Each structure stands twice: as structure tokens, then as C-alpha cells.
A and B are shown apart, each in its own frame.
Chain A
């Protein structure tokens, strides 16, 4: 149980294009989803927190107009990197949390998406 999937697992795009990454909770309802970015040899950095049906909360320094997050259903959140540039190349990981199992507030992580912007 508690499986989170991401699609695609990797993507290569040209500079200036937009890329959409999907995050799905497969066997539970995720009232809250998180998006992280991880650069090589660094720890995960939280980009934003999204609750189903409401606007995402972005961390300081993360451009909300560049990283569009939509959490339209309890099983799906999307991250769109708009007008991607080479410096946006990174490993993007989502995680999902289920309110019902709140005693430990565990986040279940997706497998990640490797984005390379040429």
C-alpha cells in the first residue's frame, strides 16, 4: 500500500519549452502533496505544498509563476515547469500524505522525475 507514482520518469526538453510532471497516489487519497527538487549530491529541497482543491503554498525563493502546481483531485497533482532553462535541470520528487493515517504524518515519496533542459 501507499504507492506514489510519477510520470514521466525522465524527460529531456529544449530551453523555453514547458514540461508537465504528474504525481499520483495509487492506493490512497492524498489530501496533501509535496514537490521537492534535488540537485546532485544535495538533499531534497521542498518547493511547494499543495492541498487538494486549493492553491499551493510555495517555499521562499520558488517562483510560483514558473513552477505551476495543480492538485485538482485527491489522487493527482501536477507540476508544470514553464519556459524551462538549463538551470531548471534537476531531479523532481513528489510525496503524498494521507490525513487518515495522521499519527506519524508520513510522506510517501514518488520515484522522481529527471528533467534535463538543453
Chain B
């Protein structure tokens, strides 16, 4: 069983609508949790990074939240655009330094349609 589970697996929304992607993890403790956007055929690009003590982080229309008690994170996309169509990956890093051991989520494939 993957230590980082994401839902839904895929999602189709209309342009301009909001959506929320979920990430449930069992990795604990952890150093930081990141959300990445991966366009088809491209490498992942970082959207947000949160340490275990942070509970929200925004980057433009992207807002990530973290609930360390329930081991859940969410990524909220506001006013979606066609260019938001991509896979979104939740990544949890293990301590102490964390960067050498990361666990990738299963990803959510988002499609924004006009």
C-alpha cells in the first residue's frame, strides 16, 4: 500500500470552476510535504512546500493546506484555467534531511475543459 494516497485519480472540471485535490499520507514524522504539477511529457514543477508545522501555503491560484493530526493535505485550485490540465502530485519527504527519501503520491490527473 502506497504511503501517500491521492484522490480522486482523475477529475474533469469546467474552466473557471474551483476544485480540491486530496492527499492522505501515512508517512510520519516527515520533513515537508510538497505539491507538484506535472504536464504530460514534462518533469514535475513545484507549486507549494509546507513543513509539518505549517497548515497553509498559497501560490497564486493554488492553495495547499495541511492537517498533521489527520495526516491529510489538500490542494485547492481557484478559477481553473485550461492550462491547469495536468497531473498533480503530492510528495512527502522523510526526516532528518528528507531530500534523499521522498515518497510520491499516486497523482491526480486534472482536465479542465472549456
Contacts and interface: CB of A to CB of B under 8 A. Distances in A.
A102 B97 contact: yes
Given A105-B97, A105-B98, A112 B41 contact: yes
B105 A43 contact: yes
B46 A106 contact: yes
Contact of B32 (A6, A105, A112): A105
A108 B44 CA distance: 8
A107 interface: yes
Q: Counting chain A CB atoms within 10 Å of each CB, which of B31, B41, B51 scores highest?
A: B41
Given A102-B97, A105-B31, A105-B99, A111 B106 contact: no
Contacts of B42: 111-112
B110 to A, nearest CB: 14
Of the four ranges (under 10, 10 to 19, 20 to 34, 35 or more), the interface on chain B belongs to 20 to 34
The secondary-structure label for the interface of chain A is strand
B45 A44 contact: no
Contacts of B41: 91, 112, 114
13 contacts: A43-B104, A44-B104, A45-B104, A46-B102, A93-B43, A102-B97, A102-B99, A105-B31, A105-B98, A106-B46, A106-B49, A106-B99, A111-B43
Interface of B: 31-32, 34, 36, 41-46, 49, 51, 89, 93, 97-100, 102, 104-107
Given A93-B44, A102-B99, 18 more contacts: A43-B89, A43-B107, A44-B44, A44-B104, A46-B102, A49-B100, A91-B41, A97-B99, A102-B97, A104-B49, A104-B51, A105-B31, A106-B49, A106-B99, A107-B102, A108-B46, A109-B36, A111-B43
